[in-house]
Amino acid sequence: MNKVLRIDMENLSHKWENVKPEHQTYAGRAFTSITLSEEVDPTCHPLRAQNKIVVSPGLLAGTLAPSSGRMSVGAKSPLTGGIKEANAGGLTGTKLGSLGVRGIIIEGAPPDSEDWYSILVGKDKCEIIKTNDYAGLGLYELIGKIWKDYPTKPGIIGSGIAGQRLLKCAGVFGNNIENSDPGRYAGRGGLGAVFGSKRIVAIISDGTGGTRPAAKDQEKFDAARKVFVKSLNAHAVTGRLNDDKGEPFGGLKNYGTNVLLNILSEAGGLPTKGFSSGRFDKAAKISGEAVHDLVDRTKKKFGDKAEGKYAHSCHPGCVMACSNVVPYEDTGKMHVSPLEYESVWALGANLGISVLHDVAELNRLCNDLGLDTIEAGNTIAMFMEAGLIPYGDGPKSIELLKKAYDESSVEGKLVSSGTQTAGEALGVTRIPVVKGQALPAYDPRSIKGIGVTYATTPMGADHTAGYTVAAEILGIKGTVTDPRDLKKAELSQAFQATTAYIDSTGYCLFIAFCILDDDDGFNAMKDTVDSFLGQDIEVTSYGKDILRKEREFNKKAGFTEVDDRLPEFFRTEPLPPHNVVFDVPDEELDEVYKNM
C-alpha cells in the first residue's frame, strides 16, 4: 500500500505519487491528519478551494486481520473550524487497501462550475467523470444507480443532498456490503459539505484486479491475527452469537451498539429530552433488545422474505458484526441499516421519542439526505427547545426532516445546518456543542471523564475520540479514589492517544472492548500492526504524535484553551437522577494537552 492519488478539481487532473518516506507508517487518521497539517492553511475557509479532502484506508484494510477494514476521511471541518477526522466501515476501505492506495488527496475546486463530478478509482487508474445525473438524488437511489452503472460492486463514499448544498450537518455517506443502504457514515464534522464544495458527489472504488496487502513479516502477522480472532470471539461483548445451549452470547452480535441504551439509562448517563435528564423511562422500547425482538418476530412471521438481521458486518472481514438491518414490522422488509446506539439516542431518547418505527424512519431520512444522525438529532432538539415541536413527537420530527429535501425551505436548510446554527437562530440558550459540534450520547455531568474528552479533543465533542466511559462510570458521585492516582486528564489523554492509534490501523474502535480485558488480545493486535509494517510501533507515542499535529492545526486556526470548555448549562444545571453538574476544573481540562 504505497500509492497516493492526488486530484486537482480546479483543472480536473490527477497524478499518482509515492508515499513520502517519513509517512511510511501513516494510514487512516494518521495519514489524514498529518497530510492536512502539512498541506492545508488552518485559516482557510473550509468550503472554498484552499481546503483539501483526504481519504485513507486504515493500515490493515484489505488484509485478513479481523475487523480492520475501516477508512478515514479528513478535512478542515465546516462545523468546527478545526481539523477533522471521521471514519467508517463499508466497502471503500477494503477496496482501496487491496488497490494499494494509501490515500486520496483532493484539492482545489472547479471555478464557477455548475457541473457535478464523481471520481472512479481502480487498479492503476483514475477517472474524473461528469455525473450531473447523480446530483440531487436521495442516497438510496444513488447507490443503486451507481451499482447498475458499475456492476463490479464498488465501494462508494460521498455527499448527499445536504453536502451538495454545503450544509454543515452533512456527513460522508458510504454504501454497505450489500449496497442496500448508504448508512456507513463518516458522519461527523460536516465533511459531506466539503465534498459538495469541490462539486464531488461520489468516490467510486473498483477493487477489480486488487490484491491482498502483504505484511513485511507474513508469518508473524498470520499467527497474530489468528490469536486476535480467537480472543475477539471468546469475549462476552465481541464474541459469537450464541453459546453452546443456543442462548444469546456476544452482546454486540445480538444487540448491536444499542445494547448501551438500557445500560446508560440505568446508570443515569443517558441524555434525555435535550440533556434535561440522565434516564429515559421508555428506553426499553427503542433498545437493542427491542430491535433483536423485532427481527426475530418478523423472521417468524415472514420466513425467507424477512430482511431484518442482527450480527450484521459493517465491512468485509468484521468478526464482531455489531451492525443490524431493522425491518418494517408490517412487511418484514428492510427499513434502515444500521440503527446504532448513537443514532437511536440522538433521534430517540434525546428527542423523547419512544416509537421504534419513528426512530428508524428518522435514521433512514438522515441516510437518504446525507446527514450525520448525531448532529441532526441534536438540531431537531433545538426546534423542540424552542417550542416549535413538542418533545416526544415523532411524526412532527419526521415532517420537519422531510423539509430538508426542499431546497427552498428555510426550515429544511436550518435542520441541515447543525445544532449551534439552529439553536442560535431559534433563540435557544441550552445548546450542547463543543467547538460547534454537538455532544453525543453520554451526559458529561454524570460521566465526567467523557466530558473531559468532549471538551479537549481537537475534533469537537466526540465520544469516539477518547472513550473513557467504562472507566468513568464509577466516578459518578464524589471523588474517584484510586491507588495509581489516575486523574481524569491523564485518563482522557491516555484514551485519546490510544484511539488515535486504533483509528490509524483500520481496526474498529470496538476491538477495545476485548483488548482492554485480554492481554493476549492486545498483544496480538499490536503484533499484527508491527509485523505488517516490519517495525515496532509504540502505541501511545504514535497516538500522541497525531494528537500534537491536530492540536497544532487548531491552534493555528485560532483555537485557544477557552475553546476547550463545555457549555455553561452543564456547569449550572444539575442532571437527574444523580443531580450532579460538570465540575471538572478548567485547570484539569488544560492538563490534558499541557505536557503532551
Partner 1 sequence: MSADSLEIHLYGRLRKLVKGSRPDEDTVRTLEYVENETFEGLIDRLELEQSDIGDCFLNGTLVKPKNVIPKGARLGLFPFNMVLLCGGQHLKGHGYTREDVDIDYYR
- Least Å distance, CB 457 to partner 1, is 16
Q: Does 486 bind partner 1 (CB under 8 A)?
A: yes
- Identify the residue among 34, 203, 471, 500 touching partner 1 (CB under 8 A): 471
Interface of this chain with partner 1, residues 348 to 407, rule: CB under 8 A:
356
- Least Å distance, CB 499 to partner 1, is 10
Rounded (5°) CA angle 291-295-299: 170
Reduce the DSSP state of residue 359 to 3 states and report it: helix
Q: Does 267 bind partner 1 (CB under 8 A)?
A: yes
Q: Does 514 bind partner 1 (CB under 8 A)?
A: yes
Q: Does 467 bind partner 1 (CB under 8 A)?
A: yes
Q: Does 477 bind partner 1 (CB under 8 A)?
A: yes
Piece in contact with partner 1 (CB under 8 A), picked from 24-32, 71-79, 302-310, 515-523: 515-523
| Alpha helix stretches (DSSP H) within 467-585 | 469-472, 488-505, 511-515, 519-533, 539-556, 568-572
Q: Does 483 bind partner 1 (CB under 8 A)?
A: yes
Looking at the Cβ atoms of 173 and 582, the one nearer to partner 1 is: 582
Q: Does 284 bind partner 1 (CB under 8 A)?
A: yes
Given the C-alpha cell 448517563, which residue does it identify?
269
| Alpha helix stretches (DSSP H) within 18-84 | 28-39
Rounded (5°) CA angle 175-179-184: 25
Q: Does 45 bind partner 1 (CB under 8 A)?
A: no
Q: Does 234 bind partner 1 (CB under 8 A)?
A: no
- Identify the residue among 32, 231, 287, 528 touching partner 1 (CB under 8 A): 287
For residue 341, give the nearest of 227, 448, 263 by alpha carbon.
Answer: 263
Piece in contact with partner 1 (CB under 8 A), picked from 85-93, 194-202, 234-242, 398-406: 234-242
Q: Does 7 bind partner 1 (CB under 8 A)?
A: no
Strand partners, 380: none
Given the C-alpha cell 490515500, which residue does it identify?
103
What is the C-alpha to C-alpha distance for residues 29 and 26, in angstroms, rounded to an integer?
8
Q: Does 220 bind partner 1 (CB under 8 A)?
A: no
| SS3 track for 196-253 | HHCCEEEEEECCCCCCCCCCCCHHHHHHHHHHHHHHHHHCCCCCCCECCCCCECCHHH
Q: Does 46 bind partner 1 (CB under 8 A)?
A: no
- Identify the residue among 250, 394, 423, 451 touching partner 1 (CB under 8 A): 250
Burial class (CB in 10 A: 0-12, 13-18, 19+), 411: middle
Q: Does 510 bind partner 1 (CB under 8 A)?
A: yes
Strand partners, 203: 119, 157
User: Is-cis flag, bond preceding 338, omega within 30?
Assistant: yes
Residues near partner 1 (CB under 8 A)? 236-237, 239, 247-252, 254-255, 257, 259-260, 262-263, 266-268, 278-279, 281, 284-285, 287, 289-290, 292-294, 356, 446, 467-471, 473-477, 480-484, 486, 510, 512-517, 577-578
